Amino acid sequence: MTDLAQIMQQVRDEARRRGVRWTNQRQIIVEIFIASNDHVTAEELHHRVRSIDASVSAATVYRTINLLVEIGVAHKRHFSSGSASFESALTKNHHDHLVCMSCGVITEFVHEPLEIQQNEVAQAHGFQLLHHRMELYGMCRTCTARGATVPASAWHALTDR
Amino acid sequence: MTDLAQIMQQVRDEARRRGVRWTNQRQIIVEIFIASNDHVTAEELHHRVRSIDASVSAATVYRTINLLVEIGVAHKRHFSSGSASFESALTKNHHDHLVCMSCGVITEFVHEPLEIQQNEVAQAHGFQLLHHRMELYGMCRTCTARGATVPASAWHALTDR
DNA sequence: CTACGTGCAAATCGTTTGCACTACT
DNA sequence: AGTAGTGCAAACGATTTGCACGTAG
């Protein structure tokens, strides 16, 4: 549906509308970010960007990804690792995550009943629900099949955040 | 049910069993941690500990709370703020959290249907569910009643982790 | 007596920021 | 021209760690 060029246009227009200048660095960073439609850390993104223009600094990658979050083009997530992950907000709808503690693969899912239950909980507590965070951790089919085990480090990473 | 002295005994025994020495600092830190049965950051804990013995260092508080997490006496949580919160694992059962984005109050809840739905999602994806994280963010009854609004900083803190 | 625990200060990690310079608009 | 963006290196906040000394066992 929404192809790369079209999305780029959209982001660029939104940036311009906010008086944000469109630099070469931003073009590269945003292009790579949108193109890699999985969960990327700032460091990974910086690394990928460097392969196109080695002179782009980490600071600029951080500044740009933060800009994208601010204008609503990217979502920032913190799974059970030290650094934040980012995902495009334009190419996907609301979803939650399943994280494999063995291979690290992140699967997205939507489950309406869960959303409904959440609203019920909130309502029962007189809470006006505005946002939620929900992550399921475990072992994916593939890892279970090959008899993998959850490394101790994954447990620590999990209970450590 | 489980009173302070009894829990202390339990923790101390578990520590001893692991060949961990029971120092004065640890006695104070653990006592205060167990006594404050809400969500505490390491810094808050350090502050409270200091009021009893000003010489206890932050490093020792960190080392001790990590020890507690390791022996399963404490749970570490990361809500939408920079630092981790800890809660006693002995005085409470499994529960999830409702976080008020206006006043910061954290309410615990248990909702069986949610747990069931989670298992269904995991099963549908061939996932062996081992752990989950679920936090509902919004505005509590009190804040809604007094017409409070969610500060921009809370939104940023939320979307920033 | 001998590890283990402590306080301190320095190191770490991911991320942000001040600065002098560059380049959109 | 003028202001926003850049790279660099230094600053950041939360947490950890190396070290020399102290103390539980």
The model's pLDDT over A30-84, given as tens digits with 9 standing for 90+, comes to: 999 999 878 999 999 999 999 999 999 999 999 999 999 999 899 999 887 789 9
pTM for the model: 0.84
CB B87 within 8 A of CB B75: yes
Q: Which domain holds residue B101?
A: 93-161
For A69, the closest chain B residue by CA position comes to B159
A135 and A99 co-located in one domain: yes
Number of domains, chain B:
2
Model confidence at A159, in pLDDT bands (50, 70, 90)? Answer: low
A76 and A148 co-located in one domain: no
User: Of the candidates A140, A93, A97, which has an alpha carbon nearest to the alpha carbon of residue B126?
Assistant: A140
B105 and B32 co-located in one domain: no
Within 8 A of A160 by CB-CB distance, chain B residues are: 69, 76, 84
Identify the weakest region by mean pLDDT among B1-5, B40-44, B60-64.
B1-5
What CATH code is carried by the domain that includes residue A101? 3.30.1490.190
B63: tokens are: 């080392």
Q: Which positions of strand C lie within 7 Å of protein CB atoms?
A: 4-9, 13-18, 23-25
Q: How far is the CA of A59 from the C1' of D8 (A)?
A: 9
More confident residue, A45 or B155: A45
Q: Does B106 touch chain A (CB under 8 A)?
A: no
B23 CB and strand C closer than 7 A: yes
With a pLDDT cut of 70, the percent of chain A lying above it is 97
Separation CA B124–CA A107 (nearest Å): 12
Task: Give the model confidence (pLDDT) of B68-115 as tens digits.
Answer: 999 989 999 988 788 999 999 987 888 999 999 888 889 999 999 999
Separation CA B148–CA B116 (nearest Å): 34
A99 and A52 co-located in one domain: no
Q: Does A18 touch chain B (CB under 8 A)?
A: no
